[in-house]
Chain A
Amino acid sequence: MPALKWVLYSLLLLSCYVLQTTPGLFEIFGKKPVLAAALAVCVSMYEGVLSSAFFSMMAGLLWDISSNRLFGFNGLILLCCGVLISLLCIYYLHTRWLNSLLFCTLAMLVQGLLDYLFYYAIWGYPGVSLILVQNILPTLLYTAAVTPLLFLLVRRIHRKFSVVERA
């Protein structure tokens, strides 16, 4: 039942968002993983292009609520990443946990660089390079590190509920 699958994905997304924003939870040296983005990457690897696009967009919009960014900024970035990841997995690449690690790293790198450019670099704040080294990079690595766990969970859900090949 595809509808039930998407209900589970949605509940998982909501849980990931709430967990990633809970103060103090999963915090290591002041850094936390972006679970919603990692989940969007994993779902995009298994699902169709259009559904991956909208799921990734929702993950990004949820992230926008808590991240003090223009509403739609992360939604747009994750939508584009979700489309690309889905296309790559349909036509060229296998869905493996190692690929999920790679995709998540690249998606977070793109988001981090755009975030750095539009919210720090262009405003000319002194010491902006510290943001890259002390914030963006550690968050990227932490998020990529937890991606395989979410990948296994998404794979389990997908295998249980999907019956037809994705279009």
Chain B
Amino acid sequence: MRYLTEFHDPELARRLLDDIAATATRRWTLMEVCGGQTHSIIRHGLDQLLAEQVEFIHGPGCPVCVTPLEMIDRALAIAARPEVILCSFGDMLRVPGSASDLFTVRAHGGDVRVVYSPLDAVGLAEANPDRQVVFFAVGFETTAPAAAMAAVTARRRRLANFSMLVSHVLVPPAMRAVLGAPDNRVAAFLAAGHVCTVMGTAQYEPLVAAHQVPIVVTGFEPLDLLDGVRQAIGQLETGRAELVNAYPRAVRAEGNPAALAMLREVFTVCDRAWRGIGVIPSSGWRLAPDWADLDAQTRFDVAGLTVAESAHCHSGAVLQGRLRPPDCPAFGTRCTPRHPLGATMVSAEGACAAYYQYRRLTPAL
């Protein structure tokens, strides 16, 4: 399959692994930023194969995991209203709020629907003029353009019954926060390829310059990840710190101009709370003032709803790369995918879920 199976080729993987082993003189600490990369690394066992060359610290790039608790609670409150159809991506339905989750709201009669595209939510609004359709817009720069498109489409079609609960987050400010932490150990980043597909690569140049940290824009298939590691270690071993695009088949330096224009039109940058981490300045998008009429928070009066995070979950330390999931005292005992204490155990992209799903065997083999 073009663009898929050739990036799983075991022979090429072996050559990349040999190359990395020949280059590395020590074990380097790398952070893969995106949860999709974390999942792929653990699923294919790349961390096992690179155990002597790389310590992977799993970054905060799981959109479901970092969506703040109060946003989940706001979504739950909106979804429970009889006139509302709440739509979101499938993973969000199981994420625990402070007292419930969207599946439970649905079992109690709430109309909660999984959509694959925000435009499907606009379609639902058109088809159900007597209902209020709310799209719960979560995710990084990758999902935001489709949410912006939904807003533009809803306005063009004059749909008064469509609104959005927006909790978008931005990757570079989170990477800056990781680098700025006093106990930071990250020597190089594998930047999230699909974020760069939208945003381009220029925004990483200041980070490289200020922190002298190699940033390699990396894809998601096993060979993509191995090539990203190879280029990062190549820089580290020669004392270089550069921005490199190792995912050129999907990423151009200028990003996607049409998507960027739409994002600038619909959203405006704001401070954003990240679940388990806290508020990171200028790390989110909210609806721009011109689009405030689409804001579900004001339409349903939930903006004042705030809650504190449970003390039992250490997902903040996991998301910041300070705690490996299996080292968490709750991992696999009090906290499992069916009884998650935090979102990192819920989402398919969450680091804790990836370890739980694929790594329970390790001590036995």
Q: Do A and B bind each other?
A: no
Residues on A facing B (Cβ under 8 Å): none
